Amino acid sequence: MPVNFENNQIVSPGELLAEGDYLSGEGSFKEGNKVYSSILGLAVLKGKVVSVIPLQGPYYPKVGDIVIGKVLNSSPAGMRIDINSLYSAAIFPSTANETGRRGREKFIQFDVGENIIAKIISFDRTHDPILTVDEEGLGKLVGGRIIKIHPTRVPRVIGKKGSMIKLLKEELTDRIKIGQNGLIWFSTSNDVIEDILVAVLRKIEREAHTSGLTDRVKETIKKLKEEKLNVIRGKNT
Amino acid sequence: MLFEEKIPEKLIGSDGLRLDGRKLDELRPIKFEVGVLSQADGSAYVEHGKNKIIAAVYGPRELHPKHLALQDRALLRCLYRMATFSVSERKSPAPSRREAELSMIITQALQPAIFLEYYPRTSIDVYIEIIEADGGTRCASINAASLALADAGIPLRDLVAACAVGKADGQIILDLNDLEDKYGEADMPMAMLYRRGDVTLLQMDGQFTIEEFNKALELGKTGISKIYQLQRDALRNKYLSIRDEVADESEVKVEITKEVEENE
């Protein structure tokens, strides 16, 4: 039997997706030989695997992900980090430097309230995620601004082969870092660019489930830039 | 009392219609809206006849105090609350016995639908606020909460749909309003995972014969099937409306899925 949906069709929980010789992937489950959707999202068939791409939902930690978080608690024994997820993460002196290159005594302790970018090195159902900052580009985030978007829509901010993030870097600022947990840090040279970037990120978030997004974002940036320039010109004359 | 409630002589008129002009097996007008609150992870607004209800879902999130956490699954907590102005005589804002009971039965009605085992040691919190009540709020609350859960992206086996059936003037009727509930002969709210046919809530006030009970159960199922369909449409509309809006702007087509795959 063929599948019960077109690719990218919006499906809701409990909807029958396929019957027969199919496997259930992310966002779907099997009952007998029938595959049902378990979440609200976009249904996709890849080979024999039926899955549903979520549109909303929590960030579920994954080993290897780069995340942005805020220090909740700090002591020489370790730090607790809020990573905008269902579990809070921890950094321990023993794992802060994954490679052991710098040794335990060089453990860098961040202050409470500081924002950091880190990598998840360990996580499963039974314990909270453990982070490390021992890698190029990881560590404390100084200055700039952080905004929060739906974690499920982060892939669209990155875009196909990084096309969207490349566009943002070229057009707006190259100081932008994306956490897989939905937090985006950026620092811009002036307020005008910052306003445009925030507006663009909100647009990407809102229209994450539509096609042709990169082209539309390109146009939006152009339009917003002109608008802002006109305002500035108007003020000067 | 601010105004006297008139006790009706008959709940079903000689023309076979009920007090509000409905047929015996007709639902009240229902409106579902999803994603109404910006700060909640998922939310829904329901108008079911004169009932007005907002449900908000937070989570799955870290559970505090930690000792309540379950090691193998998430903890589902529901809070049903009636606003002081939701009924004709002011309701005391203190939590009542009735509210505690409804919170519990709503939790029990929703629990079988959720894949709680996906998120151990966390909590899923559902807050249900009754803005206006006119009979059948527990069913409307379950409908709202189920939508809010789906909106929050929480994995569900199926949507939970609920509806009441009852008896008035010796006839089996669907979806009772306040007067029918108060002065009718029986009231039976029920909730189902409709696709699976699992009944997750079944309560009864008053009296039914066995034949009447079976008939009521069947009538309830037809009502629930209609509500279930409305819930699906409401969920889909939230995203379809944005997609349509965008489609008007440009005709360019890019495969979304490919992008996601390549990012992984």
Q: Bigger pLDDT: A8 or B91?
A: B91
pLDDT confidence tier of residue B253, bands split at 50, 70 and 90: very low
Minimal-distance CA residue of chain B relative to A57 = B153
Contact B263, A158 (CB under 8 A): yes
Q: Do A212 and B155 touch (CB under 8 A)?
A: no
Which residue type does A184 have?
A: I
* Test mutation, A80, A210, A215, A220, chain B, max B CBs within 10 A: A210
- Residue window 135-174, chain B: list those with CB within 8 Å of chain A: 150-159
The position carrying tokens 């030989």 is: A33
A161 phi-psi bin (left φ>0, alpha ψ -120 to 50, beta other)? left
Contact map slice: B 121-140 vs A, CB within 8 A = 121-122
Section B156-169 average pLDDT:
95
Cα dihedral sign, B94-B98-B101-B103 = negative
For B30-263, CATH gives 3.30.230.70
Q: Which of A79, A29, A80 is nearest to B113 (CA)?
A: A29
C-alpha to C-alpha distance for A39 and A48, rounded to whole angstroms: 19
Question: Which domains can be identified in chain A, with CATH numbers?
Answer: 9-54 (2.40.50.100), 66-140 (2.40.50.140), 145-235 (3.30.1370.10)
DSSP bridge partners of A42 = A10, A53
The structure tokens listed for B238 are 């939230």
Using a CB–CB cutoff of 8 Å, tell me whether A94 touches chain B. no
Cβ neighbours of B252 in A, within 8 Å? 211-212, 215-216
- Split at pLDDT 50, 70, 90, the class of B147 is very high
Please write down the long-range contacts of B232-238, taking CB distance under 8 Å and 24 or more positions apart. Answer: B232/A12, B232/A15, B232/B159, B233/B32, B234/B32, B234/B33, B234/B34, B234/B44, B234/B147, B235/A12, B235/A40, B235/B34, B235/B147, B235/B150, B235/B151, B236/A10, B236/A12, B237/B34, B238/B34, B238/B35, B238/B151
- Tell me the percentage of chain A whose pLDDT exceeds 90: 58
Which alpha helices (DSSP H) does chain A contain, by range? 93-96, 154-158, 163-171, 191-206, 213-236
Residues ≥6 apart with Cβ < 8 Å to B65: none
A12–B236 C-beta distance less than 8 A: yes
Instruction: Give yes or no for A63 touching B (CB within 8 A).
Output: no
pTM recorded for the entire structure? 0.90
Cα gap A49→A26, rounded to integer Å:
9
- Condensed to tens digits (0 to 9), the pLDDT of residues A166-212 reads 999 998 888 999 999 999 999 988 888 999 999 999 999 998 888 88
Q: Give the pLDDT confidence score for residue B262 in this predicted structure.
A: 59
Cβ contact B145:B126 at 8 Å: yes
B83: nearest Cα among B9, B22, B158, B141: B141
Q: And the tokens for A55?
A: 């549109």
The whole-angstrom separation of Cα B252 and Cα B264 is 24
Confidence band for B241, pLDDT divided at 50, 70 and 90: confident
- Cross-chain CB nearest to B157 (options A14, A46, A125): A14
State the Cα–Cα distance between residues B167 and B160, nearest whole angstrom: 24
Is residue A34 within a helix (H) or strand (E), and if so which, with residue range? strand A34-37
Average pLDDT over chain A reads: 88
Q: Report which residue type is found at B76.
A: L
Contact A55/B at CB under 8 A: yes
pLDDT of B247 above 80? no
Is residue B59 within 8 A of residue B123, CB to CB? The reply is yes
B190 pLDDT above the threshold of 50: yes
* ipTM for the assembly: 0.87
Helix (H, G, I), strand (E, B) or coil at B251: coil
Nearest CA in chain B to A215: B252
Instruction: Give the mean model confidence (pLDDT) for residues A4-33.
Output: 91
Give the separation between CA B246 and CA A210, rounded to whole angstroms. 7
Cα Rg of chain B (Å, integer):
20
Q: Which of A85-94, B114-123, B190-199 has the lowest mean pLDDT?
A: A85-94
- Chain A CB contacts of B236 below 8 Å: 10, 12
Chain A CB contacts of B232 under 8 Å are 12, 15
Per-chain mean pLDDT for chain B:
90
Q: What is the CB-side half-sphere exposure of residue B104 using CA atoms within 13 A?
A: 7
Instruction: Give the pLDDT confidence score for residue B22 in this predicted structure.
Output: 93
Is B254 an 8 Å CB contact of chain A?
yes
pLDDT of res. B13:
87
Query: Chain B window 72-101: which residues touch A at a Cβ cutoff of 8 Å?
Result: none
Contact B54, B37 (CB under 8 A): yes
Work out the pLDDT band at B258, boundaries 50, 70, 90: low
Residue bearing the bigger pLDDT, B264 or A150 = A150
Q: Between residues 106 and 145 of chain A, which touch chain B (CB distance below 8 Å)? A: 125-126
Measured at the CA of B202, the angle between CA B197 and CA B207, to 5 degrees, comes to 130
Contact B119 A14 (CB under 8 A): no
**Which residues make beta-bridge pairs with A44?**
A51
Minimal Cα–Cα distance from A30 to chain B, Å? 10
Give residue A189's Cα distance to chain centre.
24
Residue B251 has pLDDT above 50, yes or no: no
A33 — phi, psi (to 5°)? -110, 20
For residue B254, what pLDDT is reported? 44
Query: What pLDDT score was predicted for residue B192?
Result: 95
pLDDT value at residue B115 = 96
CB count, 10 Å around CB of B188?
A: 23
CB-count exposure of residue B39 (10 Å: 0-12, 13-18, 19+): exposed
State pLDDT tens for residues B85-143. 999 899 999 999 999 999 999 999 999 999 999 999 999 999 999 999 999 999 999 99
Please state, in angstroms and rounded to a whole number, the distance separating the CA atoms of residues B142 and B231. 11
Query: Who wins on pLDDT, B94 or B241?
Result: B94
Q: Give the model's pLDDT for residue A149.
A: 93
Alpha-carbon distance of B208 to B83, in angstroms, equals 32
Distance to chain A for B258, nearest Cα, Å? 7
**Model confidence at B2: pLDDT above 70:** no
Type of residue at B87: V
CA atoms within 13 A on the CB side of A127: 10
pLDDT of B44-70, one tens digit each?
999 999 999 999 999 899 998 999 999
Do strands A49-54 and A23-24 pair parallel, antiparallel, or not at all (unpaired)?
A: parallel
